Amino acid sequence: MRLLKVATCNLNQWAMDFDCNVKHIKESIDEAKRAGAVIRLGPELEISGYGCEDHFLELDTVTHAWECLKDILLGPWTDGILCSIGMPVIKDSERYNCQIMCYNRKIIMIRPKMWLANDGNYRELRWFTAWKLKDKLVDFQLPKDVAEALSQTSVPFGYGYIQFQDTAVAAEVCEELFTPIPPHAELALNGVEVFMNASGSHHQLRKLDVRLRAFIGATHTRGGVYMYSNHQGCDGGRLYYDGCACVVVNGDLVAQGSQFSLKDVEVVVAHVDLDAVASLRGSISSFQEQASYKTKVPSVAAPYSLCQSFNLKISLSSPLEIKYHCAEEEIAFGPGCWLWDYLRRSGASGFLLPLSGGADSSSVAAIVGCMCQLVVKEIANGDEQVKADAIRIGHYADGELPTDSREFARRIFYTVFMGSENSSEETRTRAKVLAHEIGSWHLDVSIDGIVSALLSLFQTLTGKRPRYKVDGGSNIENLGLQNIQARIRMVLAFMFASLLPWVHSKPGFYLVLGSSNVDEGLRGYLTKYDCSSADINPIGSISKMDLRAFLRWASTHLSYSSLADIEAAPPTAELEPIRSNYSQLDEVDMGMTYEELSVYGRMRKIFRCGPVSMFKNLCYRWGAKLTPSEVAEKVKHFFKYYSINRHKMTVLTPSYHAESYSPEDNRFDLRQFLYNSRWPYQFRKIDKLVEELNGDGIAIKESSGMGVVAAGSGNPKVGL
Domains of the chain: 3-307 (3.60.110.10), 328-589 (3.40.50.620), 591-719 (no CATH)
> Do residues 74 and 40 lie in contact, with contact meaning Cβ atoms separated by under 8 Å?
no
- Picking from 192, 268, 181, the residue whose alpha carbon sits closest to that of residue 223 is 192
- DSSP 8-state symbol, 438: H
d(CA 561, CA 219): 45
Query: pLDDT-derived band of residue 581, with 50, 70 and 90 as boundaries?
Result: low
User: What is residue 337's predicted lDDT score, i.e. its pLDDT?
Assistant: 97
End-to-end Cα, the chain, rounded Å: 64
pLDDT single digits (tens) 426-451: 999 999 999 999 999 999 999 999 99
Q: Is 342 helix (H, G, I), strand (E, B) or coil?
A: helix
User: What is residue 668's predicted lDDT score, i.e. its pLDDT?
Assistant: 81
Q: Where are the alpha helices (DSSP H) in 75-121?
A: none
Q: Is 423 helix (H, G, I), strand (E, B) or coil?
A: coil
- Picking from 405, 400, 431, the residue whose alpha carbon sits closest to that of residue 418 is 431
- Picking from 322, 336, 338, the residue whose alpha carbon sits closest to that of residue 373 is 336
> Do residues 694 and 632 lie in contact, with contact meaning Cβ atoms separated by under 8 Å?
no
Q: Where are the alpha helices (DSSP H) in 463-561?
A: 475-503, 518-523, 544-557
Mean of per-residue pLDDT scores for the chain: 92
HSE-CB for 639 with a 13 A CA cutoff? 26
Indicate the helix (H) or strand (E) that contains 637: helix 628-645
User: What is residue 711's predicted lDDT score, i.e. its pLDDT?
Assistant: 34
Q: Is 625 helix (H, G, I), strand (E, B) or coil?
A: coil
- Picking from 173, 179, 222, the residue whose alpha carbon sits closest to that of residue 198 is 173
Backbone angles phi, psi at 258, to 5 degrees: -75, 155
> Do residues 9 and 265 lie in contact, with contact meaning Cβ atoms separated by under 8 Å?
yes
**Comparison of pLDDT for 521 and 584, the residue scoring more:** 521
Q: Known catalytic residues? A: 44, 113, 174, 356
pLDDT single digits (tens) 666-694: 778 878 888 888 999 999 999 999 999 98
Q: Is 114 helix (H, G, I), strand (E, B) or coil?
A: coil
User: What is residue 671's predicted lDDT score, i.e. its pLDDT?
Assistant: 83
Q: Residue 109 region, left (φ>0) first, then alpha (ψ -120 to 50), else beta? A: beta
pLDDT single digits (tens) 348-398: 999 999 999 999 999 999 999 999 999 999 999 999 999 999 999 999 999
Neighbouring residues of 267: CB distance < 8 A, sequence distance ≥ 6: 7, 8, 9, 28, 31, 32, 35
In percent, the amount of the chain with pLDDT more than 90 equals 80
Indicate the helix (H) or strand (E) that contains 19: helix 18-34
C-alpha of 554 from chain center: 20
User: What is residue 580's predicted lDDT score, i.e. its pLDDT?
Assistant: 65
Q: Tell me how far CA of residue 48 lies from CA of 65, 82, 126, 579, in angstroms.
A: 6, 20, 17, 58
d(CA 638, CA 643): 9
The one-letter amino acid code at 705 reads G
d(CA 398, CA 413): 22
Q: Are strands 168-171 and 82-91 parallel, antiparallel or unpaired?
A: unpaired
CA torsion angle 86 90 96 97 (round to 10): 20
User: Could you please report the per-residue DSSP string of 32-85?
Assistant: HHHTT-SEEE--TTTTT-GGGGGGGGSHHHHHHHHHHHHHHHHTTTTTTSEEEE
d(CA 44, CA 65): 13
Residue 597 has pLDDT above 70, yes or no: yes
> Do residues 12 and 24 lie in contact, with contact meaning Cβ atoms separated by under 8 Å?
yes
The one-letter amino acid code at 102 reads C
pLDDT single digits (tens) 610-649: 999 999 999 999 999 999 999 999 999 999 999 998 988 8
Q: Give the number of other CB atoms < 10 A from CB of residue 644.
A: 15
d(CA 575, CA 597): 22
Residue 311 has pLDDT above 90, yes or no: no
Handedness of CA 27, 28, 34, 40 (dihedral sign): negative
Residue 576 has pLDDT above 80, yes or no: no
pLDDT single digits (tens) 165-179: 999 999 999 999 999
Residues comprising the chain, all counted? 720
Q: Tell me how far CA of residue 412 lies from CA of 122, 396, 428, 499, in angstroms.
A: 33, 11, 22, 14
| Biggest CA-to-CA distance, the chain | 93
d(CA 334, CA 323): 15
Q: Mean of the pLDDT values across residues 206-226?
A: 94
d(CA 118, CA 95): 16
User: What is residue 309's predicted lDDT score, i.e. its pLDDT?
Assistant: 86
What helix, strand, coil percent values describe the chain, rounded to 5?
Answer: 45, 15, 40
Q: Residue 582 region, left (φ>0) first, then alpha (ψ -120 to 50), else beta? A: beta
Q: Are strands 510-512 and 350-354 parallel, antiparallel or unpaired?
A: parallel
